[in-house]
Amino acid sequence: MNERYIGVAPQGANLICERVNEKLGQHPEKRLARILLLLAHLGKESRTETVHPGINQEHLAQMVGTTRSRVSHFMNKFRALGFIDYAGSGALTVNNGLLSVILSE
């Protein structure tokens, strides 16, 4: 099952990148928030979801179209605000409060 998922992951990442590219006028922080929510498949009924552990800040930077250091800065900010957290295994957990970053102007 994992091999099948990993084979599909690049296609899913491309779809996410396409959606993000539609929003290039947005600030990189909002683009990152949107990508994290899409990767976590966060729905209205869910409070938190885990992002695939193979996704790192370099991958996120490529998807957002910014540098890894900028992604790191935003991730630290999101963590301080309680929007994301890292599990003991290093897996990233996304809280639905991150939606407020996207919806705010």
CATH of the domain at 77: 1.10.10.10
pTM above 0.85, yes or no: no
The number of folded domains in the chain is 1
Q: Evaluate if residue 64 carries a pLDDT over 80.
A: yes
Q: Is the CB of residue 87 less than 8 Å from the CB of residue 93?
A: yes
Mean pLDDT of 93-99: 80
Mean pLDDT of 68-80: 94
Q: Could you tell me the residue range of the domain that residue 18 belongs to? A: 2-103
Distance, CA of 74 to CA of 64 (rounded, Å): 12
